[in-house]
Amino acid sequence: MSRHLEEVKERVFEKNVDAILVLNLEGSNRITTRYLSNFTGSFSALLITPKRHIIITDSRYWVQVKEESDFELVKYVPPKTFFEVVADLINNLELRKIAIEKDRISAANFDWFASKVNCEFEDVSSLIVEVRATKSEDEIEKMKVAAQIAEEAFKKMLEIARPGIKETELAAYMEYQIKLMEAEDIAFETILASGYRGALPHGKASEKAVQLGEPVVVDWGARYKGYNSDITRVFCIGEPNDEVKEIYDIVYTAQKMARETIKAGMTGKEVDAIARDYISQCGYGEYFGHSLGHGLGLEVHENPSLSYRYESPLEIGQVVTIEPGIYLEGKFGIRIEDDVVVRENGCDVITSLPREITVI
């Protein structure tokens, strides 16, 4: 039994439930399914009792599930509906109280399913997310590889960058490089925004051509064995102007301050304030509109959060991004983002690309 499964069982069965049910319909809960069973398919149900670990899936995944998971297997075969098969299993095992992640199932599906079983439900959405937030060294190793792949691809992309090239061409080339390496996929749609488009914090690559001297904000990542990297760097083809350099320095310092101060026991709010207060002192507080960072792992955005809303202490082994930014509408944007592991007295930085502005 994997350590993840063991930890989740320990926490969930404290709540006096008889089983954990993970419904994964058209990929609706791939994340928890993979975390607990290693199965990566898009259609399954896990039924976990203190003694049994069952996975129900259909013929499309029969070979794959046997390769990936050591769970006991039940094959779903029509004409019964999938929910009926899962419900029969629950009713036959006389399970009375079931833990489920309600925020990973649609309200309609939940209501339909609940009408077929004779049991109560306990929502454990936040509990599983909490367990996932703390990474094992094995997970951190995967995240390091995810970061290395992403960084390698970025360097290759810089080799083809020249004035007049389209943002989409650079993004596609970088994503292609990621896929040529041993990544499963890109982590999310690449943000590659030059000049005035850099002021859109989520400006995905467009048909715009990159001009000489413009800062280009690139926010990208790779997924390796399920785990994501999420990095932002800025490069210029030719020297940027003084205003760009000035703003860059502010973001660079704010990011460095947060990176050098973060440690276990601080709250997300406190870490966010370090970068935010500095940017505000410099007069650009209103141009830093998003939170400082977020948890990273099997999902690109997960717990914990480095924001004014997150008042719980950070824990050793949590992985977060640190990504302050300043966005000047109509002009340009600057953001620098690293991925770090929270440690007792500081952090380990997973990302290794230089943080200075890259001028090519």
Binding range to Mn ion, per CB under 5 A, among 82-90, 95-103, 122-130, 225-233? 225-233
| Tokens read off for 317 | 């082994």
- Smallest distance, Å, CB 240 to Mn ion? 23
302 scored as a contact of Mn ion (CB under 5 A): no
- Smallest distance, Å, CB 221 to Mn ion? 8
Nearer to Mn ion, 230 or 302 (CB): 230
How far is 147 from 142, CA to CA, in rounded Å?
Answer: 9
Whether 211 and 236 have beta carbons less than 8 Å apart is answered as: no
Parallel/antiparallel/unpaired status of strands 185-186 and 222-224: antiparallel
Residue with tokens 């997973």: 350
Number of residues binding to Mn ion, judged by CB under 5 A: 2
Binding range to Mn ion, per CB under 5 A, among 77-85, 96-104, 176-184, 228-236? 228-236
How far is 237 from 235, CA to CA, in rounded Å?
Answer: 7
Whether 267 and 350 have beta carbons less than 8 Å apart is answered as: no
Phi, psi of 89 (to 5 degrees): -60, -45
Nearer to Mn ion, 54 or 341 (CB): 341
Torsion of CA 41, 7, 262, 319, to 10 degrees: -10
Which residue is at the shortest CB distance from Mn ion? 230
How far is 134 from 128, CA to CA, in rounded Å?
Answer: 11
Nearer to Mn ion, 101 or 230 (CB): 230
- Smallest distance, Å, CB 147 to Mn ion? 12
Side chain identity at 127, as an amino acid letter? L
- Smallest distance, Å, CB 347 to Mn ion? 16
Q: Restricting to residues 313-332, name those near Mn ion by CB under 5 A.
A: 321
Nearer to Mn ion, 321 or 351 (CB): 321
Nearer to Mn ion, 167 or 338 (CB): 338
- Smallest distance, Å, CB 323 to Mn ion? 5
Nearer to Mn ion, 32 or 305 (CB): 305
Whether 224 and 217 have beta carbons less than 8 Å apart is answered as: no
Nearer to Mn ion, 214 or 230 (CB): 230
32 scored as a contact of Mn ion (CB under 5 A): no
Q: How far is CA 165 from the centre of its chain?
A: 30
230 scored as a contact of Mn ion (CB under 5 A): yes
How far is 161 from 158, CA to CA, in rounded Å?
Answer: 5
- Smallest distance, Å, CB 146 to Mn ion? 13
Instruction: Identify the burial level of 44 via C-beta atoms within 10 angstroms of its C-beta, where 0-12 means exposed, 13-18 middle and 19 or more buried.
Output: buried
Instruction: Identify the burial level of 344 via C-beta atoms within 10 angstroms of its C-beta, where 0-12 means exposed, 13-18 middle and 19 or more buried.
Output: exposed
Angle of helix 3-13 relative to helix 30-37, nearest 10 degrees, comes to 110
- Smallest distance, Å, CB 319 to Mn ion? 12
Binding range to Mn ion, per CB under 5 A, among 5-13, 101-109, 128-136, 230-238? 230-238
- Smallest distance, Å, CB 230 to Mn ion? 4
Residues near Mn ion (CB under 5 A): 230, 321
